[in-house]
Structure 1
Amino acid sequence: MKDDLNDRQKQIIQQLQTKGEVKIAELKEFFDVTDMTVRRDLEKMERSGLLKRTFGGAILASKDVALRERSIVRGVEKERIGRLAASLVQAGESIFIDGGSTTLQIARHLPEDANITVVTNAINVAAELSEKRIPTIVLGGILMDTTKSMVGPVTLETISRMAFDKVFLGATGLHPQHGFSNSNMHEAEIKRVAIQKAKESYIVMDHSKFGTSMLVSFANLNVVTAIITNESPNQEMVSICQTAETSIILA
């Protein structure tokens, strides 16, 4: 997505991220605009590689929405989540931060010269930490352009030999039956192993991800220490988290 998307087009992206598909008729009614206006919006975003038009609507061009585009959506909420997550890191700790638009905000809010060690598979996270002079270990592997993250056997082998005080991971969805999920199986496997190697694990996600399930589940609720989010989910999800002894921390 280019930075010149208007508010309506950004909202269409939000709906695609939540539902995976949108219909022209529904968008026309929702925004109270003409059929042609919606079609022009979809054409513009298709040219940018954000979606693929279908008969009567559109789907995500890839479930892996590019990081730059995801950063635009709910940017204020993600910034608040990242700041709070960064405040949980204590001096002397070894932590893992994976790739994503919300986890990137954690790196941006860690203090300069922090007495910690950060392991990451995300090259943009590593770049942020380098500017802050924070000791950082970057995992090797196959680079995913959509999230600027390393994945694959090399990444898994390296992370499996480590131990972390805390891990901070993004998630594309949280569903009562499907648990925490992600659209890419390679990234999901990295998340799963990172949780296994951590004393405490934190999922950072904005409220739009609650009730959503993506292709690959990487963790059940009961293996996660806490969810850091900007808005409390519905009472059903709150009760499920309480039963699983997973805290919900509001930013």
Structure 2
Amino acid sequence: MKKAVRQIQIHDILLEKGRIPIKELAQILNVTSETIRSDIASLENQSLVIKEHGWVRLNQANNEKPLSFRINENSQLKRKIAIRAFEEIKDGQVIFLDAGSTILAGVDALATKKDITVVTHSLLTASRCVDLNIHTVLTGGDLNKGSKRTTGYFSNYLIDHYHFDMAFTGSLGIKDVHGFTTVSSEGIDIIRHVINQSNQFYVVADSSKFESESTYIYCRFKEVDCFVTDSINDVQKEKIKDVKRIITL
């Protein structure tokens, strides 16, 4: 089992149990004590877990799953959804890309577009766009270690001085809520600025988000011009009926 996948499993186990003996965790994952302790040390460095006297527990102060984890979840499906969303982009447009894993998964598809400008607060997305010879603007501000994104006054200030033809963002979950969500209040702040500066606002997320929960609603369904996903049933369509347009794979 790859280390990245195993660490995701450790995180998911701790989400369910909260706290577990390290020896039991090694048995569940069928790995050696040395391997599990190496994984835990890596998770500690990311401030995701806390080790204590033969046990490991989730760090409740950090409730955002790192981007490195989210990139490996449903990666192929995320890529297909993002590529479909980016088909809507026209040559010469100015677009905003958020720092989510779904957007990042499809960035390579932008190489087929001509004379576009990408504005983003994602360090990883900006780096990849530069590699693709795309004119790229990275917003300033405070850099978040886990999500590799910038936030704060300077980031919002730059966004407020752009006009976006299209903006693309993701969602962490829409279960039991009436809008699209993010994990932190700082995430709401920057997306609200983006919405105000955009002609067309797209949300790109796979259908598993209908069964996932998150804390903060950054926009209501009626504010979204288009939702791009894989496939949804009638109940799910009814839930997001206020979205102006829905694209499914």
The TM-score bracket by the shorter chain reads 0.7 to 0.9
Aligned residues with identical type, % of pairs: 24
8 Å CA contact 1:22, 1:59 repeated in 2: no
Residue of structure 2 equivalent to 1:148: 148
Trace 1:14-33 onto structure 2 (pairs within 5 A).
21-23=15-17
SS class of match (2:106): helix
Q: Look up the SS of the partner of 1:201 in the other structure.
A: strand
CA shift for structure 1 position 104: 0.9
Within 1, Cα distance between the matches of 2:38 and 2:244?
Answer: 41
CA 1:240/1:48 → structure 2, altered by over 3 Å: closer, same or farther? Answer: same
C-alpha deviation, 1:168, in angstroms: 0.4
Contact 1:22 1:58 in 2 (8 A): no
Q: TM-score, normalised by structure 1?
A: 0.80
Asked whether the equivalents of residues 21 and 60 of structure 1 are also in contact (C-alpha less than 8 Å), the reply is no
Q: How many residues align?
A: 235
**Partners of 1:37 and 1:197 in 2: how far apart?**
52
1:250 aligns with 2:244: no
Alignment counterpart, residue 28 of structure 2, candidates 16, 35, 38: 38
Alpha-carbon shift at residue 58 of structure 1 (Å): 5.7
Distance in 2 of aligned mates of 1:107 and 1:43: 35
Contact 1:139 1:150 in 2 (8 A): yes
- Give the secondary structure class of the aligned counterpart of 1:173: coil
**CA drift at 1:57:** 9.3
Q: 1:224 matched to which residue of 2? A: 224
Query: How far did residue 246 of structure 1 move?
Result: 3.5
**Structure 2 equivalent of residue 29 of structure 1:** none
State the alpha-carbon separation in 1 of the partners of residues 133 and 113 from structure 2: 5
- Residue 181 of structure 1 is matched in structure 2 by 181
1:112–1:134 CA contact under 8 A, matched in 2: no
Question: Which deviations, in whole Å up to 9, do the C-alpha atoms of 1:73-120 show, x marking residues without a partner?
Answer: 111111111211221111121110011211112322112562211111
Corresponding residue of 2:21? none
| Partner of residue 52, structure 1 | 49
Residues 11 and 135 (structure 1), Cα distance of their counterparts in 2 relative to 1, 3 Å cut: same
Contact 1:111 1:132 in 2 (8 A): yes
Q: Which amino acid aligns with 1:161?
A: H
1:237 matched to which residue of 2? 236
For 2:185 and 2:37, how far apart are their aligned partners in 1? 29
Change in Cα spacing, 1:248 to 1:142, as seen in structure 2 (3 Å) is same
The answer for the alignment partner of 1:108 in structure 2 is 108
**Equivalent pair of 1:117/1:135 in contact (CA under 8 Å):** yes
Letter in 2 for 1:47: A
Name structure 1 gaps, 5 residues minimum: 25-33
Structural mapping, 1:163-174, within 5 Å? 163-174=163-174
Alignment correspondent of 1:212: 212
SS, match of residue 3 in structure 2: coil
> 1:103, 1:168 within 8 Å by CA — same for their partners in 2?
yes
Q: Quick one: distance in 1 between partners of 2:181 and 2:195?
A: 13
Which blocks of at least 5 consecutive residues in structure 2 are unaligned?
19-23
Would the aligned equivalents of 2:3 and 2:39 in 1 still touch at CA under 8 Å?
no
* Aligned residue in 2 for 1:28: none
Over 3 Å counting, the alpha-carbon distance change for 1:5 and 1:91 in structure 2 is closer
The Cα shift of 1:241 comes to 1.8
